[in-house]
């Protein structure tokens, strides 16, 4: 792993475990009377969000602040981007302000990678188009490990709009890296063309998989990215691929239900499932802060020699 976190594909198993173990230690900070560590005092983290986001941006902001970094929030609305400024010019502006890390979310796949070539600081990908969302996958893996005690050997079923989901891609890569067996379930129209090259199984039959699943991860139907008719009606999608209380009954006793948020209640997940004891949705948000603290610490906490920080921490 280099000094950026752009894709899960850049991590090896030890890097991933180091991030999860570090997050485990940092999770304790949330339970302390003083929820702050002085580690990144004097460092500046810029949140550069070209797409709407609630939990990811707030989560990164909370993580940076708990490590005492200065946080500058930038959202495309109300900025010079609205006047037509390019990503590169925005990046150079940030560079001039001395950003030590840039957390970027962008609608274009590859935007984070491009940005990494333009700035001196570390770049953390907070979602680029339909490509990847590595910190979401890390927090999902962290949540699974906390709930079920391990990841190795678990059967994970990821259901829904895989085509538009950066969460699905990052999760398939990470969970496979950590030894889980991942199966994607989606209507054929919502699977990417190259899915056969992903390290996972593909199925179209949710009901046959549920009794064998340790983890079910429901993906949001990303209506805002759908410019064609991917399925006939929302109701039909919900009946075939949505998780309702009856389907949840067929899961094993210990199985958990995850959702990266934001949810479309009643579409991919029923409200009573989302609020059930099996659901980890609220935990995922809390764990997100710990995981992002770990990532920021490992990227920024040591010498800024530009070398491999994670490499040397082992």
Residue with tokens 């990417």: 192
**Is 88 a catalytic site residue?**
no
**Is 292 a catalytic site residue?**
no
Identify residues 39-58 at the interface with another protein (CB under 8 A).
39
Q: Which of 22, 165, 279, 284 binds another protein (CB under 8 A)?
A: 22
**Is 254 a catalytic site residue?**
no
Burial of 178-204, coded b for 16+ CB within 10 Å and e otherwise, reads bebbbbbbbbeebbbeebeebebeeee
Site string for another protein, 61-100 (x = CB under 8 A): ------x---------------------------------
Nearer to another protein, 157 or 309 (CB): 309
7 lies in the binding site for another protein (CB under 8 A): no
- Count of residues touching another protein (by CB under 8 A): 31
Active-site residue (options: 3, 4, 43, 133): 133
- Shortest gap between Cβ of 144 and another protein (angstroms)? 21
Residue with tokens 């691929």: 241
Q: Tell me: cis bond preceding 262? Omega within 30 of 0 counts.
A: yes
Active-site residue (options: 56, 90, 135, 143): 56
Residue 116 and residue 4 in contact, taking contact as beta carbons nearer than 8 Å: yes
Nearer to another protein, 77 or 314 (CB): 314
2 lies in the binding site for another protein (CB under 8 A): no
Active-site residue (options: 39, 55, 146, 212): 55
Nearer to another protein, 15 or 61 (CB): 15
Q: Count the Cβ atoms, other than its own, within 10 Å of residue 98.
A: 12
CA nearest 290: which of 148, 143, 167, 151?
A: 143
Nearer to another protein, 146 or 265 (CB): 146
Nearer to another protein, 36 or 235 (CB): 36
**Is 3 a catalytic site residue?**
no
32 lies in the binding site for another protein (CB under 8 A): yes
State the distance between the two ends of the chain, measured CA to CA, in whole angstroms: 12
Length reported for the chain = 314
**In terms of DSSP H, where are the helices of the chain?**
13-26, 55-66, 87-96, 111-116, 134-148, 166-177, 206-209, 234-241, 245-249, 271-274, 281-300, 309-313
Nearer to another protein, 127 or 301 (CB): 301
The one segment of 16-24, 54-62, 213-221, 246-254 that binds another protein by CB under 8 A = 16-24
- Shortest gap between Cβ of 305 and another protein (angstroms)? 8
**DSSP code for 80:** G
- Shortest gap between Cβ of 312 and another protein (angstroms)? 3
115 Cα distance to chain centroid? 19
Quote the radius of gyration of the chain (alpha carbons, Å). 19
d(CA 309, CA 124): 14
Q: Which of 87, 108, 202, 313 binds another protein (CB under 8 A)?
A: 313
Identify residues 279-308 at the interface with another protein (CB under 8 A).
297-305, 307-308
**Is 166 a catalytic site residue?**
no
- Percent composition of the chain: helix, strand, coil (DSSP 3-state, to 5): 45, 15, 40
- Residues catalogued as catalytic: 55-56, 83, 105, 133
Binding site for another protein (CB under 8 A): 18, 21-22, 25-26, 28, 32-34, 36-39, 67, 297-305, 307-314
């Amino acid at each position: 792993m280099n000094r950026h976190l752009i894709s899960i594909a850049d991590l090896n198993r030890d890097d991933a475990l180091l991030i999860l173990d570090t997050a485990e230690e940092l999770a304790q900070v949330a339970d302390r009377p003083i929820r702050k560590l002085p580690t990144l005092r004097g460092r500046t983290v810029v949140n550069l969000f070209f797409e709407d986001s609630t939990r990811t941006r707030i989560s990164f902001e909370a993580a940076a602040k708990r490590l005492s970094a200065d946080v500058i929030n930038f959202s495309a609305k109300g900025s010079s981007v609205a006047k037509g400024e390019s990503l590169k010019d925005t990046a150079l502006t940030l560079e001039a302000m001395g950003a030590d890390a840039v957390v970027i979310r962008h609608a274009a796949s590859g935007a984070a990678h491009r940005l990494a070539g333009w700035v001196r600081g570390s770049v953390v990908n907070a979602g680029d188009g339909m490509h990847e969302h590595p910190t979401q996958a890390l927090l999902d893996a962290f949540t699974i490990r906390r709930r079920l005690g391990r990841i190795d050997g678990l059967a994970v079923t990821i259901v829904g709009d895989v085509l538009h989901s950066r969460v699905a891609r990052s999760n398939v890569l990470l969970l496979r890296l950590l030894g889980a067996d991942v199966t994607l379930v989606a209507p054929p129209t919502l699977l990417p063309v190259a899915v056969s090259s992903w390290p996972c199984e593909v199925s179209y039959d949710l009901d046959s998989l549920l009794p064998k699943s340790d983890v079910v991860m429901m993906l949001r139907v990303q209506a805002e990215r759908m410019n064609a008719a991917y399925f006939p009606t929302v109701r039909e999608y919900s009946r075939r691929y949505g998780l309702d209380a009856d389907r949840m009954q067929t899961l094993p006793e210990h199985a958990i239900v995850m959702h990266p948020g934001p949810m479309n209640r009643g579409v991919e997940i029923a409200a009573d499932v989302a609020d059930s004891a099996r659901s980890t949705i609220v935990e995922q948000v809390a764990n997100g802060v710990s995981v992002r603290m770990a990532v920021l610490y490992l990227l920024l906490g040591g010498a800024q020699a530009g070398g491999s920080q994670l490499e040397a921490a082992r």
